Structure 1
Amino acid sequence: MREQMLKSILSDLNGASADIEASAIISSDGLTMAALLPQDVDEDRVGAMAAAMLSLGERTARELARGELEQVMIKGQEGYILMSHAGRDAVLTVIARKEAKLGLIFLDARRAAKSVAEIL
């Protein structure tokens, strides 16, 4: 039941923008709770990498006195990966095209993360 609700949030998020290619909700220990990822993407691997990145981001923000971590953004030649907290124990990961309008993606991701936090 909960997984269906989480998948529904991801489906709405992916449908909100043609620039969003995939998304996932990952527990803070790296387990995939729900995902809408391409067939060739390994969910377990994405989960482990997202948890590691967020942990490193939190430590970096703390060490450099930037306050509590809000999100981690990775930009590659082919697009963006955005990770943000969705409540205490989950991370929302969004994969976006390189042409993406980041302001809108941030807004949609923040809204989705809030919905996820309410369910969890």
Structure 2
Amino acid sequence: MDKYMQVLQELIKNTGLEGASLVSADGLPISSVLKPGLEEDRIAAMSAAILSLGERVSEELAKGGLEQITIKGENGYVILTGVGHDAVMVVLADNNAKLGLLLMEIKKAQERLKALI
């Protein structure tokens, strides 16, 4: 098991997430812990596209550097968080997620991943 996967597995264990993935800024998967049926490559590509657009919006609207993108759908959340300049962590959570706890655990995992990259 790689060092990134250990961090992602601990995040899932602590929060009950449906999945987590670490993706390069150019849309390539680095490490993932996902439920069967979720495609790592597809998540990576979509995440990079969303991150790129989010960064542009944040800069154009003078909101500073992008920290996080949260998408709320009928069946849950997708949260993208930058990990340094070269990667993004994507987490998938259902509607029952406790967002305060989840965001706190994401921050911890983000810091651990930054130290590893």
State the match for 1:53 in structure 2. Answer: 50
Aligned length: 117
Query: How far apart are residue 39 of structure 1 and its match?
Result: 1.4
Q: 1:14 aligns with which of 2, 12, 20?
A: 12
Distance 2:84 2:113 in 1: 7
State the match for 1:25 in structure 2. Answer: 22
Unaligned runs of 5+ residues in structure 2 are none
The residue correspondences of 1:1-120 to structure 2 (distance < 5 A) are 4-18=2-16, 20-120=17-117
Matching residue's letter, 1:111: K
Which TM-score applies when normalising by structure 2? 0.97
Cα RMSD of the aligned pairs, angstroms, is: 0.9
Matched position secondary structure for 1:67:
coil
Q: Write out per-residue CA displacement over residues 63-120 of structure 1, whole angstroms, 9 at most, x where no aligned residue.
A: 1111110000100000000000111201010101111111111111111011111000
Which TM-score applies when normalising by structure 1? 0.95
Task: Give 4+ residue runs of structure 1 displaced > 6 Å after superposition.
Answer: none
Matching residue's letter, 2:15: S
Query: How far apart are residue 17 of structure 1 and its match?
Result: 1.4
Percent of residue pairs identical: 38
